[in-house]
Amino acid sequence: MNIVRQDAASQQDAASRHDAGGRNGANRRNQLLQSLLPGDFALLAPHLRDISLRQGEILIEPGDPVEHVYFPHTAVIVLLAVMRDGRMVETATIGRSGVIGGIAGFGQWRAFARVIVQMSGTAARIPSSRFRGAIRHSDRLTAVVLRCAQSIVVQIQQTAACNALHSAEQRLCRWLLLTQDYADTNVIPLTQELLGQMLGVRRTTITAAVSRLQSSGVIRYNRRGRIEIVDRIALEHAACECYEVLRSRDSERSPHDARRA
């Protein structure tokens, strides 16, 4: 995967790649946006733009001001902790049920992690300043965003425990399951090298884990960097408990929560 820094020029290019929702407002394919009542969504709609995101595109670097808020549709986005020597590890994965940069609704924040596109797809984007304005006028939107922020914190905590206590194969299975949930596809375009980076392990370790899962008929991997999930039930059995913990937390934060807020 080629990592692409999204500077001002590339952000302008991304804005020009919006789909049919574009200038007339974003499509509500993100579950958080779907959950909003019409009055709350109307605060965001005039400023939302549907954009296309490419795998490897860096949306935010650590220390950057959070200038945009992203609501993934089909794209899958990850938070990475990056070391001085360039090594990195995934700390959270966000898909169509979440939001990236939502904390910017409560002030001018700087990013604490690298935010990168894991799987190409679409998302809705809104300037942080416009998002802050909407937050100020909607207690319901505030509650939804805070729940999403809490969910990310829980995921970061669970991932930290997972990285320390579970095997690379268990973590790989957990990661594949979460990615499939967010992307809604059995085929995940990802090389073993990138998987190793995401999980913070050597490529040889990933190669061995992928080989075992493929031999067991759980997944199918080809040399072009595509993993196909063949037997999801077996994959769930092979994963650590962290997947169920994270899935249950996601279920608790259902789209209907916003309507009860």
- Reported as a single tens digit per residue, the pLDDT across 160-186 is 999 999 999 999 999 999 999 998 889
Q: What is the pLDDT of residue 107?
A: 85
pLDDT at position 7 is 53
The domain ranges of the chain are 4-139, 167-239
Alpha carbons 39 and 36: distance in angstroms, whole number: 8
Q: Tell me, what's the pLDDT at 193?
A: 86
How many other CB atoms are there within 10 angstroms of residue 137's CB atom? 11
Share of the chain above pLDDT 90, in %: 70
The domain 167-239: what is its CATH number?
A: 1.10.10.10
For 96-152, the pLDDT digits (tens) are 999 999 988 898 788 999 999 999 999 999 999 999 999 999 999 999 999 999 999
Tell me the CATH number of domain 4-139, given options 3.40.50.300, 3.40.50.80, 3.30.2320.30, 2.60.120.10: 2.60.120.10
